Chain A
């Protein structure tokens, strides 16, 4: 069965702290895609990144970076120098390769305090 686990329900940090959001996935597929989405208080899910199973290179985009490790089935997300605007719920997701439907974790609520 395919599954995504985000064990951290809620994280609180003070502005400028670094924070890492954990994501562990399960799949039997050899080819798969992983995603991170951000859901701010407005409710709309915002796509952040896609990573395919053949590419284990870490990716950096500004203050955001992602660490994909197949050996531990993890796809962790780090925000460097967090800002108040980063406060949101962050979802990790796995795609079902046959149907393209997304399988989401339960999300991690990040609160960044000034």
Chain B
């Protein structure tokens, strides 16, 4: 029984570059969430999917951010024209809607924008 996986674990990029992160949820989970965590803070919700449908996006998610979940399996989060303020840990979680609401988190992708 594998947990949530994320790739890459670390990404260093220069300001203005585009980056893409991948999340593979627990296989039977139909909900997938993206959160962002900055130093000293709790994770903040970005967006979530039920199967392939993106149901909500936070105001934190500017138009430089886009997320997809093709076929309701893995998800990608892309940041275009990165800014230094995008430096954070990007966390993915999954859950089973109709279950007991626990969200299981992956190890995160730490993004550093120089």
Binding site for B on A (CB under 8 A): 4, 33, 35, 37, 42-47, 50, 91, 93, 95, 99-107
Determine if A33 and B103 form an interchain contact, defined as CB atoms under 8 angstroms apart: no
Determine if B42 and A105 form an interchain contact, defined as CB atoms under 8 angstroms apart: yes
Listed by A's residue number, 18 A-B pairs whose Cβ atoms lie within 8 Å are A4-B42, A43-B110, A44-B107, A45-B105, A47-B102, A47-B104, A47-B105, A50-B100, A91-B42, A93-B42, A95-B101, A99-B48, A100-B33, A100-B48, A101-B33, A104-B43, A104-B44, A107-B40
What residues on B are CB-neighbors of A37 within 8 Å? 105
Contact with A along B18-48 (1 / 0, CB 8 A): 0000000000000101010000111111001
Determine if B43 and A44 form an interchain contact, defined as CB atoms under 8 angstroms apart: no
What residues on B are CB-neighbors of A91 within 8 Å? 42-43
Which residue of B41, B89, B104 is within 8 Å of A106 (Cβ)? Answer: B41
What residues on B are CB-neighbors of A42 within 8 Å? 107
Cα-based distance from A46 to B102 in the complex (angstroms): 11
Most buried by B among A4, A44, A47: A44
Cα-based distance from A107 to B58 in the complex (angstroms): 21
For this complex, into which size category does the number of interface residues on chain B fall?
20 to 34
Determine if B42 and A44 form an interchain contact, defined as CB atoms under 8 angstroms apart: no
Residue of A nearest to B101 (CB): A33
What residues on B are CB-neighbors of A103 within 8 Å? 45
Considering only residues 44-58 of chain B, those with a C-beta below 8 Å from chain A are 44-45, 48, 55-56
Residue of A nearest to B56 (CB): A99
Most buried by B among A46, A93, A99, A106: A99
Determine if A102 and B107 form an interchain contact, defined as CB atoms under 8 angstroms apart: no
A-B complex: 6 closest residue pairs judged by Cβ atoms: A104-B42, A45-B105, A101-B45, A44-B107, A33-B101, A43-B108
What residues on A are CB-neighbors of B35 within 8 Å? 102
What is the minimal beta-carbon distance from B28 to any residue of chain A, in angstroms? 16
Determine if B107 and A50 form an interchain contact, defined as CB atoms under 8 angstroms apart: no
What is the minimal beta-carbon distance from B104 to any residue of chain A, in angstroms? 6
What residues on B are CB-neighbors of A46 within 8 Å? 105
Q: B97 interface residue, CB < 8 Å from A?
A: yes
Cα-based distance from A67 to B42 in the complex (angstroms): 21
